[in-house]
Chain A
Amino acid sequence: MKLGIVSTTALIAAISATSVSAETLRLLTWGGYAPDDVIAMFEEETGHTVEVTTSNNEEMIAKLRATNGGGFDLAQPSQDRITSAQEEFGIYKPIDMDRVEAAQFIPSMLDATASNTTFDGEVFGLPHVWGTSGLVVNTAEAGDVVDYTDLCSDAYAGKVSYRLKRPTLIGFGFAMGLDPFAAYGDEAAYQDILAQVEETLTACKANVKTYWDGGDEIQNLLRSGEVVASMAWDTGGWQLNADNADITFVAPASGALGWIDTFVLPARGRADDAAYDWINFVMRPDVAAMITNTAGNFTASVGGDEGVDANLKARYQASFDQAAIDNIKWYPPVPAGLEMLEGATLDRINAAN
């Protein structure tokens, strides 16, 4: 009898606890970062509901800018795009580290992200998924493409592709022996680098079949053999590798460009509890492995790589030896206004004949 009363009370308490804290989490993220099975598990465990909107870096910022940081409770832009957006538009709110289970994060990544996303003394980002962009090469046809500048080789005229976006400018800068990241703080030096890259890319224009725009597009081009080498994301290369062993991701000699997608809280998010619950939930090693298996990229979760599909691991290891990992060029935070310079350069490349 007594036991019955106690358990009933506990049940009521449990129900009321969940009903009080149950929220709707509006998540603005990348495709693959919130798989259905993960969402189902999360909803079951916490009682929250999750609404996912998939997007990309630029659109995330544009969406949050349009609403002054409203409409979403958790977003996942790359770490280098946080401070400038915060400075210009004030669309995020700081992370309360007390509510994060910091032990679940790989310490070096947590620290690096924290320092890269610090603005006015406050931390705005936590690391989640990381990956690189480099070269995806059909090794049977273009085995000697080892760096970005090799895409401009006459041997592959009309059979290469890249995006006309800022990572291309930076990647070519490194491949040309320059260091764009070091020049981030010095507008004149950066402009000088951009001018050299512009010259190269303008000359290279004739070589390019088309500037690709979406991940599907470049995968199709590579799969059909119309393009034999391209600047692209690592996961795309590994996905193609599963179908065609000749095609794979190659870390460029000058270093792959490393990005880390983060968790940030939009300034006017309403469901912070659910957001922190989600962060702590998806950083659990088992959940992190599920996300890696769908997204194709590894996470900043301690032990998160253990449950990952063996094939994916093998492909990752084939693309990255230790030297290549050490050589990854991690994007530092982009100073506000740098996009303007890059935009003008891209426009000129676009306009050149």
Chain B
Amino acid sequence: MTATPDLECKDLTKNFKDFKAVDQVSFDVPQGSFFSILGPSGCGKTTLLRMIAGFQFPTSGDLLIKGKSMIGVGPNKRPVSMVFQHLALFPMMNIGENIGFGLRQRGVNKSEITTRVKRVLERVGLPGIEGRRVDQLSGGQKQRVAIARCMVLEPDVLLLDEPLGALDLKLREHMKIELKSLQAEFNTTFVYITHDQSEALVMSDNIAVMNKGRFDQIGTAKDLYFEPANAFVAGFVGDANRFEGKVTSVDGEIVAIVTDGGVALHGRATQQRPEVGGQAQIYVRPEAIQLSLTKPDATGGRNASERTVDSVLFNGANSLAILRDATSGETMNVALPQTGAFLGLNKSDTVYAQWDPAQARCFPAGE
């Protein structure tokens, strides 16, 4: 028996006056999974989420929750709950009343509400705070209360609209882990939208990358990182150096280009093959580039070059060096290995960089 997915979208489209906010989006989210929609601001992810919540109605397409179409069903009648970007806790109520709000709307009796509120607060790790006011809580506590307020209603799908955006960095890192464990604890389907790729990568079972109203790729974090479907995904998910140039030869999957600065580079095209003479882009992750202080063998392979250190950006484990090509002036970011071999690197030093063409991705340019 194949389980009905908790959430299913079929060719979902939303047109505003003169542009398509959401363009023929189809996906489904199996029960109990953490699904993220990742995209830059303005890509349509908020519109998509609001359609799922019921605040906006699709122009065409269908939206099913637990197999039932939600077209024409108001937000207060859907088995989904939403954690808002700024949480939208009701400041005029205390925590207990906030969490009990949804139950009151359902006509649950008072003593039942009290016990259920108590239980859900225990589950999010904040027992006994029913009597506090919203402004007496810390950012992380509010986050958990907002989730508790939704979870107490036992929704089929929990929608989260960039709820970590307002938190400071430390707390955000912490909440990523906590959200994931809360999701596991409740075993509820989470649909999470964000523009922060690290949030999506850390927490999600599946991620959809959204761009200009469409899903460019749906996959696991690894898929997106290592096998991006197109140039947008390659550039948006994770850091990458991007080079653009003219295609000089195509050898199987390996494509050679020459940049405007005259540097010859190689990359692997797994999706569309660029044509010789056309423009193409090559994406290389900073950590895929190897550095050496001595000149490698002449036969060391393709993509080897001599570079000058422009600057060193020390950031602990994430330290980077910016290297400049002496002739073309093009720069690229290179992750400094953890070994400490390059700790002494200084501005203007000469280093040698190279990478395996198989670890670089090449896409035809000009979309």
Chain A in direct contact with chain B (Cβ < 8 angstroms)? no
Interface residues of chain A, those whose CB is within 8 Å of chain B, are none
Question: Which B residues form the contact surface with A (CB < 8 A)?
Answer: none
